[in-house]
Structure 1
Amino acid sequence: MDFLATCKRSISCLLLIPCLCAPSVMANDEMISPAAVTGSANSNVPTAGPARPKNIIIMIGDGMGPAYTTAYRYYNDNPETEEIEQTVFDRLLVGMSSTYPASVSGYVTDSAASATALATGFKSYNGAISVDVEKRPLTTLMEKAKALGLATGVAVTSQVNHATPAAFLAHNESRSNYIDIAQAYLDTDADVILGGGQQYFPPSLLAQFTGKGYQHLSEFSKLDAVTSPKVLGLFADVQLPWAINDKQGHKLSKMTQKAIDLLSQNQQGFVLLVEGSLIDWAGHSNDIATAMGEMDEFAAAVEVVEQFVRQSKDTLVVITADHNTGGLSVGANDKYEWNPAVLHNVQASPDEIATRAIAEPQWQTVIATLIGFKPSEAEYATLENARMQGNEPLTVALRKLIDERSNTGWTSGGHTAVDVQVFSSGPGARLFGGHQDNIDIANKVFSLLPESTAKP
């Protein structure tokens, strides 16, 4: 491996934050973790509390590029006041991050390569799950934390073995090897695993988890009764329900609180990954109403963590996105306007509206009720043509109609290479100010782990 070339590609040019670019690779059959990073100061970040955190919470809004947090500010705004209210993202903003993968994959990353960078401090190819470009395992943050005696956990709204949580917990040459990744979770000794993905955990695998002392949950309502780790909660076949269809569920924020409660039982501290996974999935679909629902629930989870950080004084939270999805534009079509009020009136996700509209003879009434406005005759004609073709065409037509009424734009059904925002609070938060690369974020987090398991 060309170490100098890797450093040239990987280190962001931060004048006040030097990064020691030491790749994590297999050497003499032992995994080597990234080098620690010393940091700069950001005067906007409070300094109360210890210099080194006891607990570290990483939160990833999958696909949550800058336009998403901007859109959410206006979506969250109270139109009856002159002031545009701050969101939790505005309060915690400290910097920006580039997201590009290893050079073999160009400039636009996927979730696997970006999560690998954030979990290991090392660039890899799109599709890699914490392996380098030569497919050798890289030490992850969770592995290092476990070795130091910390508790570890993940809480996500996708399947628990999706790209982002997988990169923090496992190693695989392909993010698509869901069964192998689920099997690999047995060896992680993670204390809390919460999310979807029942279809990837057959009874034989679940029996192995329970044999290792895990409590297995499949009903979300039973999560409240859990009082101790270890727990494997799989609450959906694949993804959890869209937040817009589950308005009283607050599943991500509840999983986040439960994960904190359980992991806090470890007196030496914990590392927790929380992912708003479905922001990305809505972005891929260019579905602004559903995306804002996911942003709202992710913001609620961030506020749960923000409150814990304020109370505990010994917890660091770092929040970012792995990449930007969809090329969201807050305003479009040469019009100087964006109309979030339209989105507040949408009562269900477009795919759910389409399913109901196809099942009902009075489909026009169903759509008008659930979409929150009465389409024009021309719009109804377009929807009728789409309805005759099936659920997916009608879903797409509804998304486009909502885009037109809200004046929302998109440039892609995939990812873009735009830099993403970084938010932080708690001990060590100053390190994350300014511009950095995603491997810098990982290296800084590694540097804040305890130096040993020895008690002072």
Structure 2
Amino acid sequence: MIDSKPRTLARALLLGLCALGAAGASAAPKYVFYFIGDGMASPQIHATEAYLGALQQDDAEPGGTKSVALHMSQFPVQGMQTSYANNRLITGSAAAGTALACGLKTNIGVIAMDPSATQPYTTLAELAKRKGMKVGIISSVSLDHATPAVFYAHESSRNNYEQIDQALLASDFDYFAGGGLRVNKWQSEQYADLSNAQRYTLVREWARARGFQYADDRATFDALAPGLRTIAINPYLDGSNAIPYALNRKAGDYPGGPYEGSISLAEFTAKGIAVLDGPQGFFMMIEGGKIDWAAHANDARAAIEETIAFDDAIRVAADFGARHPDETLIVVTGDHECGGMTLGFAGTAYDTYFEVLAAQQLAYDDFDDRVFEAYLAQFDTAPPNIDATLWGLVSTYFGLDGAGLTETLEDDLSDYELGLLEAAYDKTAHNHSDNAAEADTLLYGGYNPFSVTLTHLLNRRAGIAWTSYSHTAVPVPVLATGAEAWRFGGYYDNTEVARRIAAAMRVELDQ
């Protein structure tokens, strides 16, 4: 049995030091930004920095070691947190989010309640509201997903979307923005005959009846009035009611494009500042939720672009903090690592070539839905092997050549790589994949075998490898700047992140 006394003593000493620091400090921060990168740990951060560095290096020197520091990485106070749940070493977003929002552990799948799911926990956002601050919740995934939900809802299961949505609408928070709501998951019989569009009409009506201004298009979003309670939803949502991947938006946000006028996480953050700012200050939680989704799919380029989009939002907060240096606290962390991402692959040994990732033009989901499905729709029966047309699409969207389409040799697939991709094509195009089979589970993780093999091949050429399609227990960085940032150095549990924010805010979480 592990002796808990050293940990208890260490925590007592830490709390004592924090109390001493607070006693000599000025007032609590007026503005608190809490950034949570879902699925983001050191590998996702440094892969992004290495990719940005690779884009700046001389073409005559590929595989260099330069990296470009993200804004978050330049914060002066840096710590590390463990992420385990009450009942599992490898956590999930509900349990990790509860720890980060409430300062207490819970079981997998539980939203801001104790492990028995009978007692609600008080959240940082609720305490901020009681203190008189305004509160904003922003996410690039649906606003009723686990991480945003733990700040305003208390449910036995993260899948209770209907109840979570009602908690959002009934809350006294001031700004909800980003993705939509999982209205397609409502279970009550009264909604059974309603389409998703009709359910969103209800959400809009309920929101306005409860005093929210509501925006779900670019023009209305741009015209939102400051000082009013607001729900702002991106004009374009994917099948899970999340904002489309940043990589897809880069490819499709043009006049007449599929994502024209899409709103970025940075823009939602800037609008949040405009809506919430006032003499009472604010608490704002901003989640970069699709870092996790891209890592689940082992799509490095998509994860990197999501991390860049997340860092762009952090820059907005940092710019605001620079104008209010003694009143602003910014804390950045992740809820857990995802995918077992690592910088280094057996096939590239000590070398890396992150610049090759730039050849990828779409995230895995848009390639599946907009490109590969359209290709297959031409046929009653798909060709037995990858044909010239599909090789052209692979070259266009991933920069990989299996048919001698380009004169360069660097993009040519080896015989081994060709075999992997042809096997994946057969699994996908001819419905030969078996998600229950161990080999298919290990190779494809339940994703489209063809697209996940393409991302694997490209990632390995860059020098990136993955160990999982799930979360891992890798410790997660904590980065802080501004008023009271001194509290966040060291190595501690994820519950301490919330407790240190509470101490900075001069509020008290449940014990």
Shift of 1:133: 1.4
Partner in structure 2 of residue 366 of structure 1: 393
Partner in structure 1 of residue 186 of structure 2: none
Give the whole-Å Cα distance in 2 for the aligned partners of 1:272 and 1:65.
21
Shift of 1:271: 0.4
- C-alpha change, 1:176 and 1:199, in structure 2 (3 Å) is closer
Conserved? CA contact 1:332–1:407, under 8 Å:
yes
Partner SS state of residue 36, structure 2:
strand
- C-alpha change, 1:12 and 1:91, in structure 2 (3 Å) is farther
Partner SS state of residue 399, structure 1:
helix
Partner in structure 2 of residue 33 of structure 1: none
Return the letter of the residue paired with 2:340: G
Partner in structure 2 of residue 31 of structure 1: none
Partner in structure 1 of residue 491 of structure 2: 435
Shift of 1:239: 1.0
Shift of 1:389: 3.4
Provide the TM-score with structure 1 as the length reference.
0.85
- C-alpha change, 1:87 and 1:373, in structure 2 (3 Å) is same
- C-alpha change, 1:9 and 1:241, in structure 2 (3 Å) is farther
Partner in structure 1 of residue 285 of structure 2: 273
Extract unaligned runs of 5+ from structure 2: 59-63, 184-198, 254-261, 379-388, 403-411, 432-446
- C-alpha change, 1:267 and 1:389, in structure 2 (3 Å) is farther
Return the letter of the residue paired with 1:74: A
Would you say 1:329 and 2:329 are equivalent positions? no
Partner SS state of residue 19, structure 2:
coil
Identity across the alignment (%)? 31
Return the letter of the residue paired with 2:283: V
Give the whole-Å Cα distance in 1 for the aligned partners of 2:96 and 2:72.
21
Partner SS state of residue 269, structure 2:
helix
Return the letter of the residue paired with 1:231: T
Would you say 1:171 and 2:151 are equivalent positions? no
User: Which of 383, 386, 389 pairs up with 2:430?
Assistant: 389
Partner in structure 2 of residue 67 of structure 1: 43
Return the letter of the residue paired with 2:41: G
- C-alpha change, 1:150 and 1:331, in structure 2 (3 Å) is same
Shift of 1:374: 2.2
Partner SS state of residue 467, structure 2:
coil
Deviation string, structure 1 residues 243-280 (Cα, Å, up to 9, x no partner): 0011255611110111111111x311100000000000
Give the whole-Å Cα distance in 2 for the aligned partners of 1:186 and 1:144.
18
Matches within 5 A, 1:52-451: 52-77=28-53, 78-80=56-58, 84-92=67-75, 94-102=78-86, 105-135=87-117, 136-200=119-183, 202-228=200-226, 229-235=228-234, 236=237, 238-247=241-250, 249=262, 251-264=264-277, 266-313=278-325, 314-333=327-346, 335-355=349-369, 356-360=371-375, 362-375=389-402, 376=412, 378=415, 379=418, 381-382=422-423, 384-386=425-427, 388-389=429-430, 392-450=448-506
Conserved? CA contact 1:346–1:371, under 8 Å:
yes
Q: Which runs of 4+ in 1 moved over 4 A?
A: 5-12
Conserved? CA contact 1:38–1:444, under 8 Å:
no
Give the whole-Å Cα distance in 2 for the aligned partners of 1:107 and 1:448.
29
Structure 1 stretch displaced more, 364-373 or 411-420:
364-373
Partner SS state of residue 158, structure 1:
coil
- C-alpha change, 1:84 and 1:207, in structure 2 (3 Å) is closer
Return the letter of the residue paired with 2:269: T
Bigger Rg over Cα: 2
Shift of 1:85: 3.0
Give the whole-Å Cα distance in 2 for the aligned partners of 1:19 and 1:164.
30
Structure 1 stretch displaced more, 78-87 or 170-179:
78-87
- C-alpha change, 1:396 and 1:197, in structure 2 (3 Å) is same
Give the whole-Å Cα distance in 1 for the aligned partners of 2:304 and 2:401.
21
Conserved? CA contact 2:51–2:67, under 8 Å:
no
Partner SS state of residue 90, structure 2:
coil
Give the whole-Å Cα distance in 1 for the aligned partners of 2:93 and 2:65.
39
Partner SS state of residue 159, structure 1:
coil
- C-alpha change, 1:53 and 1:219, in structure 2 (3 Å) is same
Return the letter of the residue paired with 1:310: A
- C-alpha change, 1:83 and 1:133, in structure 2 (3 Å) is closer
Return the letter of the residue paired with 1:283: A
Shift of 1:11: 5.8
Conserved? CA contact 1:121–1:439, under 8 Å:
yes
Give the whole-Å Cα distance in 2 for the aligned partners of 1:373 and 1:82.
23
Conserved? CA contact 2:145–2:158, under 8 Å:
yes
Shift of 1:223: 1.3
Over the aligned positions, Cα root-mean-square deviation in angstroms equals 2.8
Extract unaligned runs of 5+ from structure 1: 21-36, 42-46
Give the whole-Å Cα distance in 2 for the aligned partners of 1:7 and 1:444.
21
- C-alpha change, 1:384 and 1:101, in structure 2 (3 Å) is closer
Give the whole-Å Cα distance in 1 for the aligned partners of 2:71 and 2:287.
16
Deviation string, structure 1 residues 330-367 (Cα, Å, up to 9, x no partner): 11126112221111121111232244134247222122
Partner SS state of residue 319, structure 1:
strand
Partner SS state of residue 96, structure 2:
helix
